[in-house]
Structure 1
């Protein structure tokens, strides 16, 4: 069985390359590698999310859930220089790359790449940003989302991007039914962008 980007320790050779991206008007060069999500470019879903939502600029504690090599986490930290950004992933290679990319972006002191269980229980998030790993299956996806949404600050906001053909509309309804009212704030290239809050 081959590697998945949600493997904890990819067995494929760690072959690295760089990709260029423009996020919120700023140019970035990210190091990527085999065994991580979308190693050849900034994926379309994440691009749609970042084009659909204005960046936060004030202080706060933010979560990039399923961070991959860290493009969202790095961009959040750059745009909000008083914020702390947790970059959570189950893939150790992705977490290492996130640290590399945070160093290059000059925000390594405020980007904390961590496995899910390594985030302290008392941390609450003012914003959650995620292009969630739909391919882990619906039961695991629902479990993951509820785990982290329960740590959203009372006035916090979560931003999700989900492919329409992967259940974006049904996930919006499910989130609302779970006590996290969700509305669509963007739609492009087959993706839905959702804003989710606490009830």
Structure 2
């Protein structure tokens, strides 16, 4: 496990390289490196999530907001990797703060560099324990680290789903063969104040939507 992308300090030299990806409707040149998730391309799960989000977030404008400007509250990317979800969110919502968190220090460095490359000043990159304890989020957008195992994954979601404001939504992309159905059921039974459904699917990947009541 200590050689995997969810390690805090991946083994091997840190040698960033450029790849071309489409984010927020345009081709972007970003940095990736070994020791992070999907270093060679935009993975299919993340691509599925990013393609579905515009329609889903338009329909799911934050309901029953805590305050009148809830739609300007931060967006959280859990397990940011080299940053595609956080970067796309920041490009689409330049008036909103986007938090990108990852235990992998290499992932955090790449996300910082990519935000700078794209001229984004609204991205805050942090280790999970560096996020202010009183910070709440309007949205969570994530390709969560399923391969850490159910116990660890559930612990991650137990920490962050309660940080959504009432009416806030989490959008999680999960491969069907890696447990999309069971994760949907677990969220529904573990969080009584959340409504959970399968909002989109493509090529074996399901986007789960969990809206806090």
Q: TM-score range by the shorter chain?
A: over 0.9
Measured against aligned partners, the alpha-carbon deviations of 1:66-112 in whole angstroms (never above 9, x if no partner) come to 000111111111110110000000000100000000001111x2111
Aligned residue in 1 for 2:91: 78
Report the TM-score, using the length of structure 1 for normalisation. Answer: 0.95
Q: Does the aligned pair in 1 maintain the 2:21–2:27 contact within 8 Å?
A: yes
Report the TM-score, using the length of structure 2 for normalisation. Answer: 0.89
Aligned residue in 2 for 1:6: 6
Q: CA deviation at 1:189?
A: 1.1
Q: Which deviates the most, 15-24 or 138-147? A: 15-24
RMSD, aligned α-carbons? 1.5
User: Which of 133, 140, 165 matches 2:152?
Assistant: 140
Q: Does the aligned pair in 2 maintain the 1:89–1:116 contact within 8 Å?
A: yes
Aligned residue in 1 for 2:34: 34
How many residue pairs end up in the alignment? 198
In structure 1, C-alpha distance between the alignment counterparts of 2:122 and 2:23, rounded to whole Å: 18
Aligned residue in 1 for 2:64: none
Q: CA deviation at 1:118?
A: 0.3
Q: Does the aligned pair in 1 maintain the 2:3–2:11 contact within 8 Å?
A: yes
Q: Which deviates the most, 53-62 or 141-150? A: 53-62
Aligned residue in 2 for 1:63: 76
Aligned residue in 1 for 2:138: 126
Where do 5+ consecutive residues of structure 2 fail to align?
59-70
Aligned residue in 1 for 2:63: none
Q: Which deviates the most, 171-180 or 154-163? A: 171-180
In structure 2, C-alpha distance between the alignment counterparts of 1:105 and 1:15, rounded to whole Å: 20
The DSSP-based 3-state class of the residue aligned with 1:34 is: coil
Measured against aligned partners, the alpha-carbon deviations of 1:4-32 in whole angstroms (never above 9, x if no partner) come to 00010112111221121112312211100
Q: Which deviates the most, 17-26 or 7-16? A: 17-26
User: Which of 74, 82, 94 matches 2:107?
Assistant: 94
Where do 5+ consecutive residues of structure 1 fail to align?
none
2:190 is aligned with 1:195: no
Q: Does the aligned pair in 1 maintain the 2:17–2:32 contact within 8 Å?
A: yes
User: Which of 172, 178, 191 matches 2:190?
Assistant: 178
Q: CA deviation at 1:2?
A: 6.0
Within a 5 Å distance, the mapping from 1:144-159 to structure 2 comes to 144-159=156-171
- Runs of 4+ in structure 1 over 2 Å off: 55-60
